[in-house]
Amino acid sequence: MFRRSQLESVKAWLAHPAHAAMPLHARIQRAIRQLILDGALGPGKPLPASRPLAASLGVSRDTVESAYAQLHAEGFIERRVGAGSFVAPMSGFGPGRRPSPREALRRSQAPALSRRGAAMVRDGGVREVLSPRPFAHGVPETRGFPLQLWERLERQVLKETGTQALLHGDPQGAEPLRRAIADHVNLERGARASADRVLVLTSSQQAVTLCATMLLDPGDRIFIEDPAYYGARKAFEAAGLDCVPVPVDRNGILVERILAEPRKAKVLFVTPSHQFPSGATLALERRLALIDWAARNQAWIVEDDYDSEFHYAGKPMACVQGLDPHDRTIYVGTFTKALFPGLRIGYLVLPPQLVEPMVAARTLQDGHTASIAQLTLARFMEGGHFGAHVRAMRTTYAERLALLTRLLRQHLGDLVVPQVPTGGLQMPCLLTGRLTERAALAAARGAGIELLGLSTLHHAEPGPPGFLMGFAAYTPEEIEAAVLRLAKALNGAAATG
């Protein structure tokens, strides 16, 4: 029979909540296997007969027999007719398998990663918001999404394609979706695109990472806005690139700094529609100057058209890619913000000479994007539903931005100065000086409010203290209630600070 400690160990496995999803026989099998691996049951040791063990554990004899059968099939035990079950005589299962204290300590320490691996996990990677609390940035409103329409279109796709939709897809992306994307960016963003130049991916983050690894070698320089979108900067740093920060003003990136910079770079990364996080729109003359710079230096412009669908003041400016006659601009787009994050579809509009190498590189990453979602999205766009949804959300978001601005001025006017953007899903706010950024973020967190500090987005030197407030995903009632909580928290912190 088992010793009391061994029997209690098996009972603990049966009762542990983490193992609740396993069948009873699997829990017993795993518990005994672990005793063998730990050396608590040495080679040749007899196991209890199935009937008394079943009685001790409060299970049926068949359950124990199933556990023993699996242990026997895996080679952990031997079953001898008329004699019973015994631990198999394998030297690897002896007490020597138990790690020494030094080895156990070594296992608990951080792994020895490559320099690229360490850079990828530094600062926790890029975390997506799972359950957004006000005022998490970059989160669209999803509660009003036309799910029934989407489900109907998906059923049409499955009915017409059948099991074909379950197979591997084109690594460049489904042709109907590539055609719909090209039509959309040509019409709405003034791009110069065709279906054969579109590469469908899972996200804009994948697009940026692909550009970093395909266009640059470790140690190469890249010009990047300062402040900048943290996901892009982390992707470039993880690729081993030398990120050269270029300041931003109310008209976007300072092109004259690029032209005067003695350190040459092969790539420039910009967010010209709504600069992240300032919300600035890149002026036309600066766009043309960047295009000229890229052509003269045989450099690439990676244009992340961040939140371009949501412009609230005047007409949105044509994208850089559509103005570039030299084919030196790579356009990055995503449906994560315009529709819903769970869709996981982004894309690149590529210069013709980059299509083949980028598609080949993509096959080494994740092969292809899920076909059913692509084909459903294509139908959604072809039927005019995408444009209708964006127009409806544009009106909703503009109203929420106006409300948030008014409430901040009313309840936090002496602490916070809103920097009202012309578009996008978030608004930067500057602190007046009565409260530090760290204290403001801590107070907000304590009140259940999610804010992103602005100073952390600067690369060369700390920027002005403040925070970014997402407003798109929250109803007027939620915005008002959250602002009142935030005002109470920040005013309290200022009074005690």
Q: Among residues 97, 113, 132, which one ends one of the domains?
A: 97
Look at residue 337 and tell me if it is in a domain.
Answer: yes
* Listed residue (445, 446, 442, 414) closest to 429, CA to CA: 414
> Measured between alpha carbons, how far is 71 from 65 in angstroms, rounded to an integer?
10
DSSP string covering 293-334, please?
Answer: HHHHHT-EEEEE-TTTT-B-SSPPPPPHHHH-TTS-EEEEEE
Structural Rg of the chain based on CA atoms: 29
Look at residue 122 and tell me if it is in a domain.
Answer: no
> Do 276 and 301 sit in the same domain of this protein?
yes
Query: How would you write the pLDDT of the chain (497 residues) with one tens digit per residue?
Result: 688 888 888 988 888 888 888 899 999 999 999 888 888 888 988 999 999 999 999 999 999 999 999 999 988 999 988 889 999 987 544 444 555 566 555 555 667 777 777 766 766 666 666 667 899 999 999 999 999 999 999 999 999 999 999 999 999 999 999 999 999 999 999 999 999 999 999 999 999 999 999 999 999 999 999 999 888 999 999 999 999 999 999 999 999 999 998 888 999 999 999 899 999 999 999 999 999 999 999 999 999 998 889 988 877 788 999 999 999 999 999 999 999 999 999 999 999 999 999 999 999 989 999 999 999 999 999 999 999 999 999 999 999 999 999 999 999 999 999 999 999 999 999 999 889 999 999 999 999 999 999 998 998 878 899 999 999 999 999 999 999 999 999 999 998 86
Q: What is the CATH number of the domain that holds 325?
A: 3.40.640.10
Look at residue 103 and tell me if it is in a domain.
Answer: no
Look at residue 120 and tell me if it is in a domain.
Answer: no
> Do 360 and 421 sit in the same domain of this protein?
no
> Do 297 and 398 sit in the same domain of this protein?
no
Look at residue 123 and tell me if it is in a domain.
Answer: no
> Do 368 and 399 sit in the same domain of this protein?
no
> Do 78 and 150 sit in the same domain of this protein?
no
> Do 227 and 246 sit in the same domain of this protein?
yes
Total number of domains in the chain: 3
> Do 267 and 208 sit in the same domain of this protein?
yes
> Do 349 and 423 sit in the same domain of this protein?
no
The single-letter DSSP state of residue 346 is E
> Measured between alpha carbons, how far is 34 from 111 in angstroms, rounded to an integer?
24
Q: Among residues 350, 385, 420, which one ends one of the domains?
A: 385
In this structure, what token pair is assigned to residue 267? 């790539």
Q: Quick check: 470 and 132 in contact, CB under 8 A?
A: yes
> Do 203 and 290 sit in the same domain of this protein?
yes
This prediction's pTM? 0.83
CA distances from 122 to 216, 233, 235, 238 (A): 21, 12, 11, 9
Burial class (CB in 10 A: 0-12, 13-18, 19+), 68: buried
> Do 152 and 291 sit in the same domain of this protein?
yes
Q: In what order do the strands lie in the sheet with 426-431?
A: 416-418, 426-431, 466-470, 452-453
Look at residue 217 and tell me if it is in a domain.
Answer: yes
Structural domain including 420 reads 388-496
Q: Quick check: 225 and 269 in contact, CB under 8 A?
A: yes
* Amino acid symbol at 346: G
